[in-house]
Chain A
Amino acid sequence: MRRRRLLAWFALSGCFCISVESAYDAHGEDSSANSAIAVGVATHSATQPNYEQHILPLLENLCYDCHGYGSDEGGVQFDTAQSNEELFANKQLWGRAWENVLTEIMPPGDMPQPTEAERQMLSRWIGQSVFGVDRDQPDPGRVTIRRLNRVEYHYAVRDLLGVDFDVFEHFPADDTGYGFDTIGDVLSVPPTLMEKYFVAAERISDQVRRQANDDQSDISRRIFADGDPAGNGQTERKPGQIIERLATRAFRKPVDDRMVKRLASLASSESSGAADVVARAVEAILVSPRFLYRAEFQPGPDDPTSVHPLNEFALASRLSFFLWSSLPDDELLLLAEQNKLRDKLDAQIVRMIEDEKSQRFVKNFVGQWLQTRQVEGVHRGRKLADRIDRYRDDLVEETERFFAHIMRDDRDVMELLTADYSFLNPYLADLYDVEGIEGEEFRLVEFADDSPRGGLLTHGSILMITSNPDRTSPVKRGQFILDNFLGAPAPPAPPDVPDIEEATDGGRRLSTREQLAIHRADAACASCHDRMDPLGLGLENFDAIGRWRDRDGRFEVDARGELASGEIFDGVRELREILGRKRRLFYRCLVKKLMTYALGRGIEYTDIPSIESIVDAMIATDASGTQGRFSTLLMGVVQSPQFQLRRGDRPTNPPRHPDG
């Protein structure tokens, strides 16, 4: 397999779409309120479409059969407003239309389709004319102040002090939103958690004190000894210097003398040694809101029209919590201090990805996007319960290694769905019926031409978490694909729905496929299940723990299907091929997931233009003919106005995106 190193990344990624000009003063918290906003989008060459001339004909041709001329399927009708003003004011209608056009849910597969250019034009028009999106003055959205989640707390303490604090034992689970635990709005600090923060700070501080004078300990070396680059410097630092360094790192920006003095004065008596003084300061640092919260300061914090580049210290934090789930290191802080981080962004991202700390990003992002965190707690009925325990960790590791490989080799992220290889150890090889794997280690395995395996669709981790405890669930599997790969989840079923996967025909037991077919005969169910079920049925050859099977109980597995978008397939290999062609949908879905994780907020309508720009850049082939490189995705997110800028609070709330 051709391996391509990451360093080659940025020949390609610097040139596209959104670039934040580095000229503005983004340094410090008091950058002046009138500093120019200089975020430009280079690719909006298309002219502004006109409703009567460009949009109305499209709607008439493509939508009105069901949503006009007296038809109002799904309660949606475009031609009942008295005036254009009234029509354009219906943000709910256009919001749904925007999403459905972009995710290709509409028009349905059996109806005439717009060209890609027409889709783009419609999307652009809705953005500009209905939602007032201005590509020259992008709204970066508003990120809520965010407390560290417990995973970030763990890594921050480890990187700062060398202490391994077991947050899973000591802190409760973090609440999640939009599928991630990085969402500031739902991460709170009730009194019970404050108590735990105090206890944690006390324990960690005690550990620092105990090991301060043990030259062999990581803690001592990291905090107290003056580690010169050669690693042999043993000069004792003064407590004040140590505290200044720790507080700067912990608070992610320089601290003033007064703060250092206050931290240093906490130790009880004059006679306290350096270890006591530093340990007490650590205790205070770890319960400070400056450590526990990621606050981003900006001019005009209560003015929604006040849009400013993030100051570079805040940018350093965004980057490090995104890619390392932890504090910025000295290099990032130094660049921020010199106001050179934006200039050196590309090189820093490469450095950060190459650092082994980026494995934390892999674990946290994959664990939540692909939900592999769920594997640990999967319950299985008696027949399978004993079998899965030995595989749980391996299954998660397979998916993480697979993702990391594509990230580190800067491959086309489409391979996540289409790869003909994976990472297996002998246990997984056994589970997957792959022969010839010996030794304990994981290794890259290319599947044989006739193997059904390949891509995330056939990862045991995903097949397992999308099953019920006692059987597979084509509906859950279909929904997983729609939600996480195609970015178009089906809405929830209404309560008290008729049978699903449980129907019988006059007492004769039916196969899962037959049961679902009966279910879809109901038009109310069909509109969504026509989208979910075929996808899941294509994976029926994999049982509830991801093993291959030819039969499901007494029924022979039939993995044929027709997608709502019209493609016909037989089995997982053909299904994979079809999904592999849905580049735009997959790229967009992944951009949105990554952006949500990185920003710590849900996607808003105002984000769509940035998302589309990143997708455009990923669709474009580079000099070597490759599309969708991981670097293009990552740099797209990092360079986006959403990641680079910050705006003041809005007194009222923006229209919500359907994902929210």
Chain B
Amino acid sequence: MANPSQLNRRHFLRGAGACLTLPALEALSVPAQAAAATKRALATTASGMPLRTAFLAVPDGVNLQHWRPRGTGSDYELGKTLEPLSGLKEKFQVFTGFAHENAESLGDGGGDHARANAAFLTGAHPFKTSGANFRNGVSVDQVAAQHIGDQTRLRSLQLGCESGRTQGNCDTGYSCAYQYNLSWASPTLPIAPEANPRAVFEQIFGTGQPVERQVNLQKRLARRQSILDLVLEDTHAMTRQLGNNDRHKLGEFLESVRSTEKQIENAERFTLPKTEMMPPTGIPKNYQEHMRVMLDLLAISFQTDTTRLATFPLAHEGSNRSFPELNISEGHHNLSHHKRKQENLEKIAIIDHFYMQQLAYFLDKLDSLKEPDGSSVLDNSMIVYGCAISDGDKHNHDDLPIVVAGGGGGTLNPGRHVDFGRDVPMCNLFLSMLDRMGVGLDRFGDSTGRVADL
């Protein structure tokens, strides 16, 4: 019997690209350029194309033997793990030497997976707690969203493949929130990844039959308008009666209500991209299928300029998934404590390779999507892929395995392996990426400067 989810995805993919009309994108080049003339355009390339940024995270470190390229500069050889990317060698760069010091224990004891995930995009040292006084930093995608979020209909996307949480205590004394959320809108406000393809589809294209989606959206927003005042008033009234801590919590709620308000205000500026596709149904049982349908949706959201920012943990940090499809019955996290046994290391490399195939799939897709100016979406993107743990056995947070794909609209210098030969804060990369989005900051996380050679 055919796997229904597989059929769904194929059908869905056939639709992708082919039936898609791109009103948002075609229309965009003009106002964006107009904006460029008056003021520095945010997240826009020199030729007026949108500049997209995505962060993909993989769990548990990698087998560095097979990850590491041989040679540096543009004349280098890919390691076995990166082979799936060989067809795109001129479109990405590999970095050796990035580090996340704030993922280190710094006196906080165990919990490296939670810290690695919490620090990966924030550069912050999460406060060790299972709940009380919970605090991390703001993630780079959300700092960017504060500045460029209103350029697009959706400020940012958070994708994932897991719809539950570990039960019991998560990583030794840390709330699960640290281990599962890459995007942090504030130090106390993580944004949960969305694992349901249908929900992402509806975020991008709207709900209902294809012809009625735009109307449905307008109706929905109009409905919300009248309710918003009541919600705002209620929130203020409640806030006045609460203590410090609770006021802060409700303040976050208020911000989220405000963002709904903004969305309504912005509605006239944006129209939904049109497609005849119907939303994918259900969550694919097959892991690769699941990742790929999410990556398809991410590619579409970039293509249609629905958003320019996204995060996607392919699995949560510390994931102990086994891979029967790769003949690996051990859990990934168990294997990652490889004790330098070659048998374990080879299995880790197979998993690394498998995840790399998903990146290759995504990059291929982005590269196949052409922009009005003839470049590809990949050319106008910055895609960071990697992990804040280097070796799963050592749990070290330096020498991180990092790929930065895409041309950044001509501002990146792909086709190379860059080895810093020393520890460079990962946040220096983020700061340099924010520059390219037009978000000029002095510091981000634990940055010490910018990456000159990017």
**Which residues of A are in contact with B by a Cβ distance under 8 Å?**
29, 142, 144-145, 147, 168-170, 172-179, 181, 183-186, 188-196, 198-199, 202, 262-263, 266, 283-284, 287-290, 292-293, 295, 297, 301-302, 367-368, 371-374, 376-377, 379-383, 385, 465, 468-470, 480, 483-484, 489, 491-500, 502, 601-602, 648-649, 651, 653, 656, 659-660
CB distance from A394 to the nearest CB of B (A): 18
Contacts of A145 in B (CB 8 A): 242, 245-246, 249-250
Partner of A176, one of B170, B244, B252: B170
Q: In chain B between 318 and 365, which residues have their CB closer than 8 angstroms to a CB of chain A?
A: 320-322, 324, 327, 329-331, 334, 337, 339, 341
**Chain A contacts of B203 at CB under 8 A?**
195
Asked if B192 is at the interface of the complex by the 8 Å CB criterion, the answer is: yes
What residues of chain B lie closer than 8 Å to A284, measured between beta carbons? 227, 230-231
Answer whether residue B195 sits at the interface, using C-beta atoms and an 8 A cutoff. yes
- A interface secondary structure, majority: loop
Nearest opposing residue in chain B for A375, CB measure: B167
Is B199 an interface residue, CB under 8 A from the partner? yes
Contact of B131 (CB < 8 Å), options: A178, A191, A497: A178
Q: How far is the CB of A502 from chain B (nearest CB, A)?
A: 6
Contacts of A494 in B (CB 8 A): 110
B155, B168, B181, B198: the one within 8 Å of A371 (CB): B168
Across the A-B interface, the 5 shortest Cβ-Cβ residue pairs = A381-B329, A492-B110, A177-B131, A301-B243, A649-B243
Known: A191-B255, A297-B241. A469 touches B231 (CB 8 A): no
Q: Tell me whether B447 is interfacial, beta carbon within 8 Å.
A: no
27 A-B pairs with CB atoms under 8 Å apart are A29-B241, A144-B249, A145-B250, A147-B253, A172-B192, A175-B181, A178-B130, A178-B131, A183-B175, A191-B255, A191-B260, A198-B224, A266-B230, A295-B238, A373-B164, A380-B322, A465-B167, A469-B331, A492-B111, A492-B172, A492-B173, A493-B110, A496-B393, A496-B395, A601-B131, A601-B132, A602-B130
User: Which size class do B's interface residues fall under?
Assistant: 35 or more
Asked if residues A172 and B132 are in contact (CB atoms below 8 Å), the reply is no
C-alpha spacing A288/B199, complex, angstroms: 23
A290 and chain B: residue at smallest CB distance: B234
Q: B165 near A190 (CB under 8 angstroms)?
A: no
CB–CB A287/B176 < 8 A: no
By a CB distance below 8 angstroms, the chain B residues around A381 are: 322, 324, 329-330
Chain A residues whose CB sits within 8 angstroms of the CB of B134 once the complex forms: 177, 185-186
B129 CB–A CB distance under 8 Å: yes
- A302's nearest neighbour on chain B, judged by CB, is B243
Q: Residue on A with the closest CB to B185?
A: A190
Cβ contact within 8 Å between B246 and A295: yes
Within 8 A of A (CB), among B185-237: 185, 188-196, 198-199, 203, 220, 223-224, 226-227, 230-231, 234-235
Which single member of B180, B190, B224, B259 contacts A191 (CB below 8 Å)?
B259
Alpha-carbon gap, A199 to B85, bound state (A)? 40
Task: State whether B167 touches A367 (Cβ < 8 A).
Answer: yes
A175 contacts B241, C-beta separation under 8 Å = no
Would you call B289 an interface residue if the criterion is a C-beta within 8 Å of the partner chain's C-beta atoms?
A: no
Is A468 within 8 A of B244, CB to CB?
no
Binding site for A on B (CB under 8 A): 109-112, 129-134, 155, 158, 162-170, 172-173, 175-177, 180-181, 185, 188-196, 198-199, 203, 220, 223-224, 226-227, 230-231, 234-235, 238, 241-246, 249-250, 252-253, 255-257, 259-260, 263, 320-322, 324, 327, 329-331, 334, 337, 339, 341, 393-396
State the CA gap A144–B327 with chains docked (Å): 46
A295 to chain B: which residues have CB within 8 Å? 238, 241-242, 246, 250
Chain A positions within 8 Å of B109 at CB level: 491-492
Bound-state CA distance A491–B108 (Å) is 12
Residues of B within 8 A of A648 (CB): 243
A295–B244 CA distance with the chains assembled, in angstroms? 13
Find chain B residues with CB under 8 A from A174 CB. Answer: 165
- Taking a contact as CB atoms under 8 Å apart, the answer to whether A173 and B164 are in contact is yes
Distance from B94 Cβ to chain A, minimum over Cβ atoms (Å): 25
Of residues B163, B249, B250, B252, which shows the largest number of chain A Cβ atoms within 10 Å of its Cβ?
A: B249
Known: A284-B231, A660-B132. A368 touches B167 (CB 8 A): yes
Contact B321 A379 (CB under 8 A): yes
Contact of B195 among A172, A195, A651 (CB under 8 A): A172
Which one of A173, A287, A484 contacts B162 once the chains associate, using CB atoms below 8 Å? A173
Query: Are the C-beta atoms of A289 and B322 separated by less than 8 Å?
Result: no
B191 touches A176 (CB 8 A): no
A517 to B110, CA, bound (A): 23
Q: A190 near B193 (CB under 8 angstroms)?
A: no
CB pair A289 B235 closer than 8 Å: yes
Contact present for B322 and A469 (CB under 8 Å)? yes
